[in-house]
A and B are shown apart, each in its own frame.
Chain A
Amino acid sequence: DAKTTQPTSMDCAEGRAANLPCNHSTISGNEYVYWYRQIHSQGPQYIIHGLKNNETNEMASLIITEDRKSSTLILPHATLRDTAVYYCIVRVGGNEKLTFGTGTRLTIIP
């Protein structure tokens, strides 16, 4: 699986949009971009995934650049409960294991 690069930490004001970047310059054509998050003392939680089109669900939006070498996870109206470590993962999909990096620690500031 391709390696991803994320900032170590970020802060965001409550109620504002949180934009979390991820670089995956070696991504292959058949690899998807997945985002999971891990709230303190809990297991990771799936957020969203995409291949090349932008995606949106009830939790977040995923913007993937045209060359697919980077992406941004957007939490449109961050709340204190969004404070967590966010992991960007690339993989083919299916039943493959998840390869986590160290992720981005997002802190929502009241």
Chain B
Amino acid sequence: GAGVSQSPRYKVAKRGQDVALRCDPISGHVSLFWYQQALGQGPEFLTYFQNEAQLDKSGLPSDRFFAERPEGSVSTLKIQRTQQEDSAVYLCASSSGEWVQANEQFFGPGTRLTVL
């Protein structure tokens, strides 16, 4: 595809509901990142995949957050029992995975999650 796509673009959930956010990275990109961006703040790292392996999940705020990338392409971020503090924009980024200095990360438009 032309770029990173995310779906849905907007999601409204009632407190306690489970949600699943999808990311389609650029074809062939090995690395995939998830970030969380609260209103008025910069994005904050959640987790990182290289192919299907989740190499870093240090940024996941609680065990209610779970991410997977089973076939090394599409990734899903799942949030269980959503809370109001989970309201944010969730950004996905992919990169080629080459260990080079630039290794630009390409971001999707994000999914805006609102928990009522």
Q: Which residue of A lies closest to B97 (CB)?
A: A95
A-B pairs, top 9 by smallest CB distance, nearest first, are A43-B107, A100-B42, A93-B101, A97-B45, A46-B104, A94-B99, A100-B43, A44-B107, A95-B31
CB distance from A94 to the nearest CB of B (A): 4
Whole-angstrom CA separation of A85 from B37 in the bound complex:
13
CB distance from B4 to the nearest CB of A (A): 7
Cβ B43 vs Cβ A44 within 8 A: yes
- B95 close to chain A: CB less than 8 A: yes
B102 within 8 A of A: yes
CA distance A85 to B39 in the complex (A): 13
Q: Report how far A51 CA is from B42 CA in the complex, Å.
A: 23
Q: Chain B interface: which size bin? A: 20 to 34
Please report which residues of chain A, range 46-99, place their CB below 8 angstroms from some CB of chain B when the two chains form the complex.
46, 49, 51, 85, 87, 93-95, 97-99
Say whether B41 faces chain A, with CB atoms less than 8 Å apart: yes
Tell me if A94 and B91 are in contact (CB < 8 A).
no
Chain A neighbourhood of B102, CB < 8 A: 49, 93
B interface: dominant SS: loop
Question: Contacts of A46 on B, CB cut-off 8 Å?
Answer: 104-106
Return chain B residues, CB-CB under 8 Å to A32: 101
> For B33, what are the chain A residues with a Cβ–Cβ distance below 8 Å?
97-98
A103 to B42 Cα, complex, angstroms: 7
- Segment 25-67 of B: residues with Cβ below 8 Å from A: 31, 33, 35, 40-45, 48, 50, 56, 59
Interface residues of B in 60-116 (CB under 8 A from A): 91, 93, 95, 97, 99-110
Contact status of A43 and B42, CB under 8 A, knowing A95-B48, A97-B56:
no
- CA of A103 to CA of B103, assembled, Å: 21
CB atoms of B101 and A95 under 8 A apart: no
Among B42, B93, B109, find the residue whose CB has the most chain A CB atoms closer than 10 A. Answer: B42
User: Are B45 and A98 neighbours in the complex by a CB distance under 8 Å?
Assistant: yes
User: Assuming the A-B contacts A42-B109, A95-B95, A97-B56, are A87 and B101 also in contact, with contact meaning beta carbons closer than 8 angstroms in the complex?
Assistant: no
